[in-house]
Structure formats: C-alpha cells, structure tokens
Amino acid sequence: MVKVKDLKWKQDMKVSELVDSYEFIGFQSVELQRASDVIVKMKKDSAKVFLTFTSNMVTSGLRGFFAQLIDLGIADVIVTTVGGLEEDIMKATGEDFQIGSFQTDDVELHEQGINRVGNLLIKTESYMNFESLVDKILKELYEKQNRWAVSDMLREIGLMLDDESSILYQAAKNNVPIFCPAITDGAFGFHLYLFQQEHPDFIVDVVKDFGNILFASSHDDRKGVIALGGSISKHHAILSTLLNGGAEYAVYMTTAHRTSGSMSGANTNEAKSWGKVKDESDVATVIGDVSITFPLAMIRALDELAADGLLKGLQENRTTGVVK
C-alpha cells in the first residue's frame, strides 16, 4: 500500500518532480502519474505506439506538441479526425486562431464571421482560404494518380507542407502513417465530393486503408495505445489492435465517464472485455481536460526517456529500421 504524502512546493520545481509527487496525492493525480509511467514502459519495451486524438486538440496549442512527439519518435501510428487535419493545414499555411471565451455571444460571433470551438475562435475566412487551397491540392493529387488510400493521400499532402509544427508534415517526414477513417466528415470531405463530380474516376479508398492500419502492426508486435478523447479515432486504433491480438499498454485520457456507455467514456478495463487491451496489460485512464493532463504526463515521460538516452535512439531506429 502506498501512503498519502503531502505535496510541497519548492522553487524551480520541474514538471517531472510535480508529476512524480502525484503518485502520493490521490484521486486522478495518481492515474496521471501512472499514465506517464505506462507511456515510458511502452517506449522502453519497443512497443508500436498508436497515438489518437480528436480535432479539437489540433484547434488548440497541442497541435505543435503532437508534431514534436512524431519527430521525437514517440508515435508510430496516428489516428485522428478530419477536422484536425484541416486545421493543421490551415495553421501550416499561416492561419491564426484566437482564444476567446466560453461565455461569448455566439449570434454576434456568427454575424462577425467567427466560429467557436469551446473558447477558441476560427474565422470563416480561414475556412474559405483552406477551401481554395484544397482545390489545388486535389488537382495535384489527381495528376499523380486517380486512386488513393486515405493514409497515402495524407502523406502526400504532408510532403506539400513546410512547417515543422505541422502534424502532417512531421508524419510524412518521419514515415508515420496518419489514418482518418471519417475523411468525409468535414470541409475536406465536401470538397472531395465536389472534386469527384468533375472527376468521376477520382477515388479515395477508405476500405483499402482499413487494411493498411491492420498491417501497421502484427500479432508479434508489442502494441501501445495513447488515446486522447474518444470517438472514431480512438476506436479505429483499438479495433486494429484487437484484430492483432490486443495491446500490451494503454493510456486513455478523456472528460467522458464510463457511465455513458460511450466510446469516449469507455475505460481501459472495459477494453479488456473486448480483447482490445490484453488482460495482463499496463493501463491507465485519466479523467480530465487533455490540454492539462496530457502535457504533464507526456513531459514527465519525455524527461525520463531523454535521461535514459532513448529519444535520440528512437529517432535513429525509425531512420534505419532497426529495433533495439
């Protein structure tokens, strides 16, 4: 049994020291510290890591952090929703998002041509600029070939960008596949539809991409899942681990609760009933705002991996294809 210990502040306290102290505080702080430990374990065990997140996290300042994690070799597979990819492209091409208020007048925002995501604000003009860019992107893709698996298409788009803080750019640069099973669920999907009306032979193959995510890992691989939020991005990843024997490690972070019966609220124990996570796996479920919980847990994990000389090694392994 671990005894409760009082948290004490000290000057210049590191994030790692703070998160280490969470083990002794209680409630969700204990789960957050455990989540950080599980992330460290999955990387030290050379597990293939599936990182999943929903689009609202890309709207926020977490977008650049995700891109950095890809470049550091933390994520081997990305699964997300199309809104996040749209906004990644927007930010990569110079669009700025603003921080507003949860209590703002939404009718007034609509009249001003501003869209709200929580307390974040996106100008309608930004979407108009994005839509003009998408038309050019689709024409370039069509000139190369007329049939694309989604992840192959997203890699090609990433190669068109030039932004170190872009998820698509870093994924393409580091050969990390991005899967987006609901590619039509947004402005990008609408423009895919419009483009296909003019080019009926242009096909985006979602079914083929399901095969691609299945072959992204195997029964023999050790597998880890870091699922931020829920929805289809979380389920698509853990379904693929289920079909390949289940994950050895899983960290879920969400504001949803298990009592809803939703995918967002389903915890790691529930995943064991399906075989998505193995019975003996190391797991943690953290209830709370991911914009707070994930940076804390991940930065502490990065500090430990860096101290052990693993971050550079992870990058070298991806480049050479050697697993140590």
Catalytic machinery residues: 276
Contacts of 9 (CB under 8 A, 6+ apart): none
Between CA 98 and CA 119 the distance in angstroms is 9
How far is the C-alpha of 227 from the C-alpha of 172, rounded, in Å? Answer: 21
Spatial distance between the Cα atoms of 317 and 324, rounded to a whole number of angstroms = 7
Using an 8 Å Cβ cutoff, are 292 and 28 in contact?
Answer: no
For residue 237, how far is the Cα from the chain centroid? 11
Rounded Cα distance, 254 and 71, in Å = 24
The SS3 assignment for 1 reads coil
Number of other residues whose CB lies within 10 A of the CB of residue 308: 12
Alpha-helix residue ranges (DSSP H) falling in the chain: 15-21, 28-44, 55-59, 62-71, 82-92, 106-111, 124-144, 150-160, 167-173, 187-198, 206-214, 231-243, 268-274, 290-307, 310-320
CB-based contact 42:241 (threshold 8 Å)? no
CA angle 86, 253, 58 (to 5 degrees): 15
| Closest CA relative to residue 36, chosen from 11, 14, 56, 61 | 14
